Amino acid sequence: MLNDVTFGQYYPAKSFVHSMDPRAKIVFVIAYIVAVFLAGNFFGLAAVTLFLVIIVAASRVPFGRVLRSVKMILFLIIFTAILNLFFYSSDVDHLIWQWGIIAISWEAIINMVFLAMRLFLLVMGTSVLTLTTTPVALTDGIESLLKPLKYIKFPVHELALIMSIALRFIPTLTDETNRIISAQKARGADFETGGLIRRAKAMIPVLVPLLVSAFRRAEDLGDAMDARCYSGAKGRTKYKKLTFTWRDLVGLLLFAALIAGVVLLNMYFGGKFAVFDWIAGNFFVG
């Protein structure tokens, strides 16, 4: 059921992206998210998609593995797109179907596709970070980037550690969920038939032992850290020092070019309804 969930898992490989500094990769992911939200039309999203394909190819991570990361929020993408389809405010002249306050128009369809593509690209891009960066490197990168907050007594190391552990436990809890579901099916549980309420009730025998297992794992982890005399960031040293290399400079130039290209596409082609205006002007006018 959840075998294809890959978000939070590290894919070991020797590639250009794997060798980059984790701090640079975190900053580049933020820049990628900015580029996705800056894209105001389908041409901008196409440029972001092409850039993402190049990054995935450079990381040597199987493209299908990156695609499977969308499985976790596929329902959210579809649900959000449907809501925008039925409740998007649009021009009366472009309506296709209307019933009460619910209306479907060409503008709503275009906006739905645009929003779904944006969410899809966001998940795909952020999953590349976890697939190409180990949890330890990710923790070091977050801690280094947030280091200035230490001057105001902010627990930077603890925050980075919590985020790293949370990412690490995603595949662990996914495997645990699959085992519980298999055990419940062996006892005659049915998760695939019935209405929504019945399926929700059927998940209770899964959620209860999953929560118990999660708390038990958290307690075992805390005991293991205490046994190893973990006391936070105080007095801790690092075996590997983070350093910027020429790969990070190349990545900086590429992401700067991506953002500049998206801005230029917005200026040249206009908003996301530019395609709609062209279709309406050529096929629905006169």
Domain ranges, ordered by start, for the chain = 1-153+244-286, 156-232
Q: What is the DSSP string of the chain?
A: --TT--TT------STTTTS-HHHHHHHHHHHHHHHHH--SHHHHHHHHHHHHHHHHHHT--HHHHHGGGGGGHHHHHHHHHHHHHH----GGGEEEEETTEEEEHHHHHHHHHHHHHHHHHHHHHHHHHHHS-HHHHHHHHHHHTGGGGGGT--HHHHHHHHHHHHHHHHHHHHHHHHHHHHHHHTT--SSSS-HHHHHHHTHHHHHHHHHHHHHHHHHHHHHHHHTT-BTBTT---SS-----HHHHHHHHHHHHHHHHHHHHHHHH-STTHHHHHHHHHHS--
26-73: pLDDT as tens digits: 999 999 999 999 988 888 899 999 999 999 999 998 888 888 877 777
- Please give the mean pLDDT across all residues of the chain: 80
223-264: pLDDT as tens digits: 888 888 877 766 666 667 788 889 999 999 999 999 999 999
pLDDT at 93: 52
Q: How far is CA 63 from CA 35, 70, 124, 235, in A?
A: 21, 12, 10, 42
